């Protein structure tokens, strides 16, 4: 045991020496545009709280109501005695919202992606994955026996080459897997081109829309709706724009959902979501459908913030999404910049390897609808100051 622990301590020391230790800051009180963090009120520019619903009174009331009527926990997986009417209501509501036959809930989208591939694809099949897909898609694909192919991020020539390779390898069925929005860059997947290639090669298209559902596309129905194309299977989360608590789902054709209910391991062998979360998910979808005003505010904030950072001289990745990364290069610099911003009352996190490639460290800022113009001006002033302090401006 002591040799083992020495080895583990060595790993930790190596992470620290490379400036890659992730430190968690303590928030007291709810998630929001401002948070109380270790005794200070901070402007918060790094939550996935795109529509600002994480502390919405309707969601709190729905959750509280369900605690009273449905109890605290289910103490069971779904198929033993963990399915309430509420679970089926949310699955039906999500399916209707996303325009699919049915959906199935998981404890998180990490589990949805982890459980999706293995029941649907066997060794005769192939899965083709974008190189920047979320870790949970990568893990889910590792767990299935299909042949694996990978294409360079959003490189359509490479995707086509991989489709050809999968066909040459004799694949029975091919699934293309992509994030709808790549979470480290805020880039949108090229869904119209991907759909066309999927159709040309007879492939099934799976889209993880965690960073889009609720605010991209008409009524927030996500990237497929934004582009006016169809995804065959969608995965998503309740942990971001839809209230920000937790819970994941897969939506798709009835037969796919039915088979996942029989075979998806994170569904079969993990607890049912608690009633409060499920009821709040239903309330979140009602809010989201009617949230054109919040969506307009979100994208207005994103455009203002992006323009302000660019005018200040920061290198910002191009795009339209409320994920707006400020590129800094080395991990240490991203850490220093985040610390300088912290001193100035702005909470952001540095992102570095292994979350993004080495040398591509950044501060990923994220806009939300609850931020005011005053907040953004305060944030921009802090970024300029901090940029001078660390020498990037
Ligand atoms: C693209 C993507 N997929 C999946 C997940 C996992 O979602 P959850 O937090 O519901 O497990 C995330 C969250 O970080 C994500 O960004």
Over residues 109-151, the pLDDT tens digits come to: 999 999 999 999 999 999 999 999 999 999 999 999 999 999 9
Q: Is the pLDDT of residue 21 over 90?
A: no
Give the three-class secondary structure for 244.
coil
Q: Are 150 and 131 in contact (CB under 8 A)?
A: yes
pLDDT reported for residue 314? 98
Across the chain, mean pLDDT equals: 97
Q: Do 276 and 383 share a domain, yes or no? A: no
pLDDT the model gives residue 23: 85
Residue 19 has pLDDT above 90, yes or no: no
109 lines ligand 1 (CB under 6 A): yes
Please give the average per-residue pLDDT across 166-189, as a whole number: 97
Given CA atoms 83, 86, 89, 95 in this order, what sign does their dihedral have?
negative
**Rounded to 5°, angle at Cα 26 from 22 and 30:** 125
Q: In the numeric block, which tokens belong to residue 256?
A: 């796919």
- Judge if 82 and 188 occupy the same domain: yes
Q: Residue 232: what pLDDT?
A: 98
| Pocket of ligand 1 contains residue 187 by CB under 6 Å | no
Q: How far apart are CA 335 and CA 353, in angstroms?
A: 12
- Given 234, 268, 289, the domain boundary residue is 289
Residue 18: the pLDDT is 80
Q: Which is nearest to 112 in space by CA: 137, 149, 80?
A: 137
In a mutational test of the pocket of ligand 1, which residue from 54, 110, 185, 231 has the highest number of ligand atoms less than 8 Å from its CB? 110
Assign 20 a pLDDT band (cuts: 50, 70, 90): confident
DSSP per residue, 151-196: E-TT-HHHHHHHHHHHHHTT-SSEEEEEESEETTTTEEP-HHHHHH
203 and 66 in a single domain? The answer is yes
Ligand 1 centroid from CA 136, angstroms: 7
Q: What is the best residue among 130, 238, 239, 241 to mutate for testing ligand 1's pocket, by most ligand atoms within 8 Å of CB?
A: 239
Same domain, yes or no: 98 and 175: yes
- Structure tokens given for 56: 């919405």
Q: Which stretch of 259-268, 297-306, 328-337 has the lowest confidence by average pLDDT?
A: 328-337
Q: Where does residue 99 fall: left (phi above 0), alpha (psi -120 to 50 degrees), or beta otherwise? A: left
With bands split at pLDDT 50, 70 and 90, how would you rate the model's confidence at 68? very high
Cα of 237 vs centre of ligand 1, distance in Å, is: 7
Domain boundary among 247, 266, 289: 289
| d(C-alpha 200, C-alpha 295), whole Å | 34
Q: Of the candidates 165, 166, 125, which has an alpha carbon nearest to the alpha carbon of residue 144?
A: 125
281 & 350 share domain: no
Element containing residue 60 per DSSP (H, E)? helix 57-70
Same domain, residue pair 260 and 297: no
Judgement on whether residues 233 and 355 belong to the same structural domain of the protein: no
Which residue range(s) make up the domain with 223?
A: 57-289
- 4 inside domain: no
- Residue 312: pLDDT over 90: yes
Is the confidence at residue 292, as pLDDT, over 90?
yes
Query: pLDDT of 382-391, one tens digit each?
Result: 999 999 999 9
Domain stop point among 260, 289, 318: 289
- 91-101 per-position pLDDT tens digit: 999 999 999 99
Give the bridge partners for 105, in sequence order: 249
- For 357, list phi and psi in degrees, rounded to 5: -60, 155
The residue among 251, 129, 215 whose CA lies nearest residue 179 is: 129
User: Cβ(222)–Cβ(212) under 8 Å?
Assistant: yes
Least confident of 60-74, 225-239, 295-309, 340-354: 340-354
Q: What are the residue numbers of the active site?
A: 183, 211, 240
Ligand 1 center to 245 CA (angstroms): 12
**150 and 40 assigned to the same domain:** no
- Find the farthest-apart pair of alpha carbons in the chain and give their distance in angstroms, rounded: 61
What is the C-alpha to C-alpha distance for residues 323 and 132, in angstroms, rounded to an integer?
15
Percent of the chain residues past pLDDT 90, beyond the cut: 94
Q: Is the CB of 126 under 6 A from ligand 1?
A: no
179 CA distance to ligand 1 middle (Å)? 10
Please say if the pLDDT value at position 22 is more than 90. Answer: no
Neighbours of 378 (CB within 10 A): 16
**CB 366 less than 6 A from any atom of ligand 1:** no
Cβ of 178 below 6 Å from ligand 1: no
Same domain, 266 and 381: no
Q: Does 202 lie in the same domain as 72?
A: yes
Please report the pLDDT score of residue 373 as a whole number. Answer: 98
Neighbours of 65 (CB within 10 A): 15
DSSP states of 247-287 = -EEEEE-HHHHHHHHHH-HHHHTSBPPPHHHHHHHHHHHHH
Terminal C-alpha separation, the chain: 49
| Residue 249 and residue 130 share a domain | yes
Count of domains in the chain?
2
Within a domain: 65: yes
Q: What is the CA radius of gyration of the chain?
A: 21
One domain, residues 120 and 192:
yes
Q: Which residue has the tokens 């099949």?
A: 125
SS3 state of residue 57: helix
Place of tokens 């042949």: 147
- With beta carbons less than 8 A apart as the criterion, state whether 239 and 108 touch: yes
């Amino acid at each position: 045991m002591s040799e083992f622990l020495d080895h583990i301590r060595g790993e930790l020391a190596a992470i620290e020496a490379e400036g890659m230790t992730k430190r968690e800051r303590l928030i007291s009180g709810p998630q929001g545009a401002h948070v109380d963090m270790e005794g200070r009120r901070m402007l918060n520019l790094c939550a996935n709280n795109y529509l600002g619903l994480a502390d919405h009174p309707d969601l709190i009331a729905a959750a509280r109501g369900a605690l009273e009527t449905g109890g605290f926990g289910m103490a069971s997986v779904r198929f033993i005695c963990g399915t309430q009417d509420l679970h089926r209501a949310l699955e039906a509501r999500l399916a209707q919202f996303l325009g699919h036959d049915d959906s199935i809930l998981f404890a998180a989208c990490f589990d949805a992606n982890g459980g999706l591939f293995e029941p649907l694809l066997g060794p005769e099949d192939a899965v083709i994955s974008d190189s920047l897909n979320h870790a949970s898609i990568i893990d889910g694909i590792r767990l299935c026996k299909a042949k694996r192919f990978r294409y360079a991020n959003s490189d359509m020539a490479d995707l086509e080459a991989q489709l050809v390779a999968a066909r040459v390898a004799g694949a029975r069925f091919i699934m293309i897997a992509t994030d709808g929005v790549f979470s480290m860059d805020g880039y949108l997947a090229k869904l119209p081109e991907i759909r066309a290639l999927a159709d040309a090669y007879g492939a099934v298209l799976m889209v993880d829309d965690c960073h889009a559902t609720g605010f991209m596309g008409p009524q927030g129905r996500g990237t497929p709706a934004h582009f006016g194309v169809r995804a065959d299977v969608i995965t998503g989360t309740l942990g971001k724009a839809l209230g920000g608590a937790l819970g994941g789902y897969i939506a798709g054709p009835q037969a796919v959902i039915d088979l996942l209910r029989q075979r998806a391991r994170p569904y079969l062998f993990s607890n049912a979501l608690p009633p409060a979360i499920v009821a709040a998910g239903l309330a979140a979808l009602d809010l989201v459908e009617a949230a054109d005003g919040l969506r307009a505010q979100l994208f207005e904030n994103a455009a203002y913030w992006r323009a302000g950072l660019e005018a200040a001289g920061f290198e910002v990745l191009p795009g339209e999404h409320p994920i707006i990364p400020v590129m800094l290069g080395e991990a240490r610099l991203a850490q220093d910049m985040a610390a300088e911003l912290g001193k100035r009352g702005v909470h952001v996190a540095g992102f570095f390897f292994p979350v993004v490639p080495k040398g591509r460290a950044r501060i990923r800022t994220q806009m939300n609808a609850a931020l005011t113009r005053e907040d953004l001006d305060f944030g921009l002033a802090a970024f300029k100051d901090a940029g001078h302090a660390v020498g990037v401006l």
